[in-house]
Structure 1
Amino acid sequence: MATSKAKPRQHANVWVENIKTILYAGLIAVAVRTVAFEPFNIPSGSMIPTLLVGDYLFVSKYSYGYSRYSLPFSPPLFSGRIFGALPKRGDVVVFKYPRDTSIDYIKRIVGLPGDRIQVKEGQLYINGELCPRQPEGTYIADENGIKMMGRLYQETLPNGVKHDILKERDDGWVNNTQEYVVPPGHVFAMGDNRDNSADSRFMDGVGFVPVENLVGRAEILFFSYDAEYPWWEVWEWPFEIRWSRILKPVH
């Protein structure tokens, strides 16, 4: 009799322990996502050639301190940043779109508070200084199945950071802009696919990005695939993985 009565209690204890384990795992995952790293995927080609459609990366949440946007669902518990730090020119960052903070954007920071930013004949100027670019040949990109060809350059920012950009042309208003003066508490972000990026050059769109909207700095790719074939062609899946991009740092 004693043995038969103990079995229900043992089963109940097992269920309780399993539920506790799941809760603990969930809390740990939320804590890691909030204070350490958060995964993101790349849905568009605005950062080609640095980031490709189908890239998956980790973003460090601690790089610039913490704001309400560091927390799941962005609750308005406080304003500003805790342990805040400005990004460096050249950092690739995830931020909340200023006009709709439910949307995440990823761009490269080229301007800090007080900087003067201008594009003239397709070339970037920061505080009146030309950011030189070195031609590196042609580049064929694929954005959601649409092939595009552009000129690949290595651009050097005033702090010595070098990164690749993609250009199709040097005319048009996005390549000949006004001079933007970055206001306090904001940064200026641009896509590396310079002629196909909605970024801070569009004052009626992204515009200046509030520092509070920064989510974190892109650190490393953990997966990448090229969805060239229909999802049901499972035999093609191994060939769609971009093995050479896995564990590649984001620069």
Structure 2
Amino acid sequence: MFLDFEFLLVLLTLVTAITVAWAAFRRRRLRKAGKPLPEKDNWWVDLCRSLFPVILIVLVIRSFVVEPFRIPSGSMIPTLLAGDFILVNKFSYDVRLPVLNRSVIPTGQPERGDLAVFKYPVNPAQDFIKRVVGLPGDHVVYSDGDLYINGDRIEQREEGAYNEPQAPRATVFSETIGDREYRTLRHPRGTWCTDYASAPDGYEVPEGHYFTIGDNRDRSSDSRCWGPVSEDLLVGRAFLIWMSWDTYENRINWSRIGDRID
């Protein structure tokens, strides 16, 4: 999507606010001059007066509190499915100004295991969601399906086959980073890309950056393909599925609605 919805919200807020302020100033000036006031404002002034508080509330909530996103692909299976609609906590990783994305209030930084939404480093007009596995200064290696952080192999436990149409013939693993446990998928034909962390020497995460990987390990475009994510691109941490649409059966997936995201 090339039109930035956040920019559009800010623009509409400014336009409606300026229009309402101009109309109030005009009435005040006419009153001071002793001139008759118009019985009714122009229709576009009334429209802006009605829309301004609504747009302002939406902008504040979406920019500083919570923002909805839709999952378009299967890169986060089995945690998230294509067709899931999620909510993202916007103040998990600092309070940021809309459009400028500049941090104004420090509130926290990503932790290993977080499901973080961020601007795609290759094309910031797109939003991505991946799991944070590497923090600034970490040494990350991904080799033969195993993830190593600072020389320590991340614990995995095979759970069995994933018998769903989104990822046939895949195997489910339980993985633990610190006190965070979640599930991942592995495919028999291997991963799509391992440019950054597959070398024997692995990858050193620079300061101010984070290494991210999709839970669908062999079907995800992530930091293994295009490198780490700058903290300036962070949007927030996903925490809830508020709606889910089964893209295979074209129906609402009621069982996933309300699920918390780990």
Q: TM range, normalised to the smaller chain?
A: 0.7 to 0.9
Shift of 1:21: 3.4
Q: Which runs of 5+ in 2 are unaligned?
A: 1-37
**CA distance in structure 2 between the aligned counterparts of 1:177 and 1:81, rounded to whole angstroms:** 37
C-alpha distance in structure 1 between counterparts of 2:114 and 2:45, whole Å: 46
| Greater RCO (CA < 8 Å, at least 6 residues apart) | 1
Per-residue CA deviations over 1:118-156 (Å, capped at 9, x if unaligned) read 11221111111111111111103444xxx5220001001
Q: CA RMSD in A?
A: 2.6
Counterpart-to-counterpart distance in 1, 2:84 and 2:77: 11
Asked whether the 8 Å contact 1:67–1:213 carries over to 2, the reply is no
TM-score if structure 2 supplies the norm length? 0.77
Residue 94, structure 1, aligned to residue 117, structure 2: yes
- What is the aligned partner in structure 1 of residue 57 from structure 2? 28
1:41 to 2:62 alignment: no
> Which amino acid is the alignment partner of residue 185 of structure 2?
L
Distance apart, 1:55 and its partner CA: 0.1
Question: Which of 226, 234, 238 is equivalent to 1:214?
Answer: 234
Q: Which amino acid aligns with 2:171?
A: R
1:121·1:170 contact (CA, 8 Å) conserved in 2? no
1:243 aligned to which of 254, 257, 262: 254
Displacement of 1:86 in angstroms is: 1.5
- Identify the match of residue 75 of structure 1 among 78, 91, 100: 100
Aligned-residue identity in percent = 40
Contact 2:190 2:218 survives alignment (8 Å): no
Show CA shifts across 1:147-199 (max 9, x none): 52200010011x12111000013856739812111000000000000000011
**Contact 1:111/1:188 (CA < 8 Å) preserved in 2?**
yes
What's the CA shift for 1:84? 5.0
TM-score for both structures, normalised by structure 1 = 0.80
Cα distance in 2 between the residues matched to 1:93 and 1:75 = 19
Distance in 2, Cα, partners of 1:92 & 1:103: 16
Q: Which moved more, 1:14-23 or 1:105-114?
A: 14-23
User: 2:198 is aligned with what amino acid?
Assistant: T
What letter matches 1:117 in structure 2? Answer: V
Indicate if the aligned counterparts of 1:67 and 1:212 stay in contact, CA closer than 8 A.
no
What amino acid is aligned across from residue 57 of structure 2 in structure 1? I
Q: Distance in 2 between matches of 1:46 and 1:13?
A: 51
- Separation in 2 of the partners of 1:44 and 1:180? 26
Query: Does the alignment pair 1:227 with 2:235?
Result: no
Structure 1 residue corresponding to 2:144, chosen from 118, 121, 129: 121
Superposed displacement of residue 12, structure 1: 6.0
Q: Aligned partners of 2:176 and 2:42: how far apart in 1?
A: 62
Unmatched 5+ stretches in structure 1: 1-7, 230-236
User: Is the CA contact 1:81–1:212 (under 8 Å) kept in the aligned structure 2?
Assistant: no
